[in-house]
Amino acid sequence: VNVTLLDKRNFHLFQPLLYQVATGGLSPANISSPLRAVLKRQANARVLLADVVNVNVPGKKVLLRDGSGLPYDYLIVATGARHHYFGHPEWEPAAPGLKTIEDATEIRRRIFLAFETAERLPDAPSQQKHMTFVIVGAGPTGVELAGAIGELAQQTLRHNFRNINPAQARILLLEGTDRVLPPYPADLSAKAERALQKRGVEVWTRAKVTKIELHAVTVERPNGVQVVPAATVLWAAGVMASPLGKILGEATGAEVDRAGRVAMQPDLTLPGHPEVFVIGDLALAKDAAGKPLPGIAPTAIQQGKYVAETISKRLQGKTVKPFHYHDRGIMATIGRNFAVAQVFGLQISGWLAWMAWLVVHIFNLIAFENRLLVLTQWWWNYLTRNRSARLITGVNDPENWPQRR
Amino acid sequence: VNVTLLDKRNFHLFQPLLYQVATGGLSPANISSPLRAVLKRQANARVLLADVVNVNVPGKKVLLRDGSGLPYDYLIVATGARHHYFGHPEWEPAAPGLKTIEDATEIRRRIFLAFETAERLPDAPSQQKHMTFVIVGAGPTGVELAGAIGELAQQTLRHNFRNINPAQARILLLEGTDRVLPPYPADLSAKAERALQKRGVEVWTRAKVTKIELHAVTVERPNGVQVVPAATVLWAAGVMASPLGKILGEATGAEVDRAGRVAMQPDLTLPGHPEVFVIGDLALAKDAAGKPLPGIAPTAIQQGKYVAETISKRLQGKTVKPFHYHDRGIMATIGRNFAVAQVFGLQISGWLAWMAWLVVHIFNLIAFENRLLVLTQWWWNYLTRNRSARLITGVNDPENWPQRR
């Protein structure tokens, strides 16, 4: 076979650690690997930096933004998801989400600029909104972000300011359902909530965000509506699959759900098109019981391996079994020494879960050099409680705030 | 004393290694240290993120962009220099210079995007301008950039592409005088030029750039005028001191040279204003023989220490000697295993000079963590010839090229 890898970016991004870039613990390159370096030794693979805008399914051609077309025998679409504002795209400038390196450095800029701004203001009332951090959505990303900001405020930034006390920052985690980490067992959700509170995070469940403006979030709760003034609002609530999902659905009649994901055949192909595979966050694949598979890295990795084997078997004229997801578990970390995990049916929490989280995440980084650099920084940050990658970049004018690049 | 450190950025940047960020060898945070982390333990020092727009010298007040004023007893101005296009500011979009983290990531983006673009083009004639890299100015920054791009093309990117051979990239280093590294002894300049040629760099001396447009540089040489088509043009030629130099000159009658630097008294103060010090690239300080001191880090570091001691002595009523520059030498590296240096009057080149360069640069990084991370990456990159921080960031649309953030 000849393989062509098309990507808008020239690197693979390990998204599970993106929140550590957003909170100044790691550098972007530590969780990224240049695609060409990864595929350097694979002579039958070529990489092209390209933006796919459409697929001509009957003509078996991928259409690029520059107008050119690329013919294929087999197509694997794995373009993932972006964050999504439930019909309120106007919220994005006020509440960035976390999916790309640029998102992470923008969030990092906002978090650290908020403390800098508060330091320059004369009194607590004027500082208050800059010392308030609202995170919308208490899934794994929201919980990890809130925990990391809590540790920043309580530990990393200690003794760093003269006019404010960073430990007095208000960190508010909003969740629409009745508990944090909704896909986790209720017991682990409760433990995670206690760990968050210990790190200074205020958790509001059954909280529905009805409006986000620059420096203000409107929240509807069972006991009433409240407007929270906050300079830093982070979005960790909804995701929407890449537009290619809808395009493929329309071309083949495949069902597309509200989140833009394409419903797949048991072998991860499109109905009537055994040559087109959809995997990862773009695919609405289901397990044997009909439950959608979780939108996490292990799902995508297993699907990738399955598709590669399927194509290889088909070329050899062999039959292929349907895709079967091996549930190895889920885990989320809430800072230093604490994580919750459900692995192989076991529920663990605390230091042991945190060690497991560290090992799994180091192991899944693609490049050995990145493992070395991430381990060095984790070890150093653990000893010193410092986070040295807290750079405010992409702006030269701190007084004209906030401003996007 | 009470110290207030005002800076537009929230981090100290170790500029001598900025070219390694621009060529994908190091991450921005590896050569940066958050100012608050550096001064955490110094209780009499506070840090403010602020943009100084003017100084009221008679009123002893620093004026910030937000309109507020900050009174001082002593003022130390060390706002440095930016690159400068000799009266052609319109050249900047086509030929970025290298002074900030944003400059470095923009140059990195252009270098790696040029190879990506060439890979997608069908034949050598259309690829040519994307495979041509022009560096204007053969001072230390220009030489280091050219050497690093040469190594990228010859070594790092080997086996990375299928349609182009990166080793066939044309790297053109333009210098207006008759040799590279003009401030160095002629013998070292000649050695540096040979080392550059070995790394695939074509050196044009007595070459004057008369025009820079997007994708084309016009060069005047003794044998005629030539237009070089090149998608990547990097500016390493001129510097201009921060506008505060001119402001201080006008306020105090101090002489300001063509590069915007302020002529200082022997104790680095402004004439008639013993409370205002100017140091670093903004100062036109002279040695005993009347020769201007070089615009390099050791000058600035020695001046900083001198001013701190001077203020301390004055407060104790002691007399102060004029500033005396201790010339410890100059050094520049041209990639793996090669550098040139003049230290303590000795001229060295090759591997020994390179080792000296490594030690001096590691030693001068402020934070221990950064030393560890830079050493790890240098060691790894030395073994593998890889550079893993070669991310194209700040743009999501590779086909709409070039485009600034």
DSSP state of B294: P
| pLDDT tens column, B282-319 | 999 888 888 889 889 999 999 999 999 999 999 999 99
Nearest by CB to B48, from A11, A29, A120: name it.
Answer: A120
Residues of B in contact with A391 (CB under 8 A): 10-11, 28-29, 32, 34, 101
Nearest Cα to Cα of residue A10 among B215, B393, B145: B393
Query: How far is residue B303 from each of residues A299, B88, B325, B391, measured CA to CA in Å?
Result: 58, 32, 8, 37
Query: How far is residue B9 from each of residues A116, B92, B256, measured CA to CA in Å?
Result: 10, 22, 26
CB spacing of A369 vs B386 below 8 angstroms: yes
Confidence of residue A367 (pLDDT cuts 50, 70, 90): confident
Contact A183, A330 (CB under 8 A): yes
Q: Give pLDDT, residue A287.
A: 83
The HSE-up count of residue A311 (CA atoms within 13 Å, CB side) is: 16
Cis peptide before B402 (omega within 30 of 0): yes
- Is pLDDT at B405 greater than 50 in this prediction? no
Looking at CA atoms only, how far is residue A26 from chain B in angstroms?
A: 9
Q: Give pLDDT, residue B403.
A: 34
Closest residue of chain B to A121, computed from CA coordinates: B48
| Alpha-carbon dihedral sign for residues A136, A138, A139, A145 | positive
> In the numeric block, which tokens belong to residue A355?
């060690």
CB spacing of B37 vs A388 below 8 angstroms: yes
The C-alpha angle B340, B15, A110, rounded to 5 degrees, equals 160
CB spacing of A399 vs B50 below 8 angstroms: yes
Q: Give pLDDT, residue B287.
A: 83
- Is pLDDT at A405 greater than 60 in this prediction? no
The packing angle between helices A368-384 and A351-364, to 10°, is 150
d(CA A130, CA A232): 7
- Is pLDDT at B399 greater than 80 in this prediction? no
CB spacing of A386 vs B369 below 8 angstroms: yes
What is the identity of the amino acid at A299? T
Cis peptide before A402 (omega within 30 of 0): yes
CB spacing of A49 vs B394 below 8 angstroms: no
Residues of B in contact with A120 (CB under 8 A): 48-50
CB spacing of A49 vs B390 below 8 angstroms: no
d(CA B124, CA A187): 63
Contact A27, B28 (CB under 8 A): yes
Q: Give pLDDT, residue B395.
A: 59
Q: Give pLDDT, residue A398.
A: 38
What is the identity of the amino acid at A6? L
Looking at CA atoms only, how far is residue A106 from chain B in angstroms?
A: 11
- Is pLDDT at B78 greater than 60 in this prediction? yes
- Is pLDDT at A238 greater than 90 in this prediction? no
CB spacing of A397 vs B66 below 8 angstroms: no
% of chain A beyond a pLDDT of 90: 87
DSSP state of B15: G
| pLDDT tens column, B51-72 | 999 999 999 999 999 999 999 9
| pLDDT tens column, A127-162 | 999 999 999 999 999 999 999 999 999 999 999 999
Q: Give pLDDT, residue A227.
A: 98
- Is pLDDT at B396 greater than 50 in this prediction? no
For the segment B236-254, the average pLDDT, to the nearest whole number, is 93
Nearest by CB to B388, from A370, A391, A394: name it.
Answer: A370
How many A/B residue pairs have CB atoms within 8 Å?
A: 156
Contact A85, A92 (CB under 8 A): yes
The packing angle between helices B351-364 and B368-384, to 10°, is 150
Q: Which of B119, B156, B369 to mutate to test the interface with A (most CBs of A within 10 A)?
A: B369
| 3-state DSSP percent of chain B in helix, strand and coil, to 5 | 35, 25, 40
d(CA A171, CA A143): 11
Confidence of residue A285 (pLDDT cuts 50, 70, 90): confident
Query: What is the pTM for the complete model shown?
Result: 0.94
Q: Give pLDDT, residue B4.
A: 98
CB spacing of B391 vs A37 below 8 angstroms: no
The catalytic position among B90, B92, B144, B399 is B144
Which active-site residues of A does the annotation give?
144
| pLDDT tens column, A74-104 | 999 999 999 899 899 999 999 999 999 999 9
d(CA B346, CA B327): 12
Residue reference for tokens 């995170």: A135
d(CA B165, CA B153): 8
Closest residue of chain A to B367, computed from CA coordinates: A388
What is the three-class DSSP state of A7?
A: strand
Confidence of residue A401 (pLDDT cuts 50, 70, 90): very low
The packing angle between helices A368-384 and B368-384, to 10°, is 170
Nearest by CB to B388, from A41, A65, A367: name it.
Answer: A367
d(CA B160, CA B162): 7
Q: Cβ atoms within 10 A of the Cβ of B155, count? A: 18
Residue reference for tokens 């002579």: A43
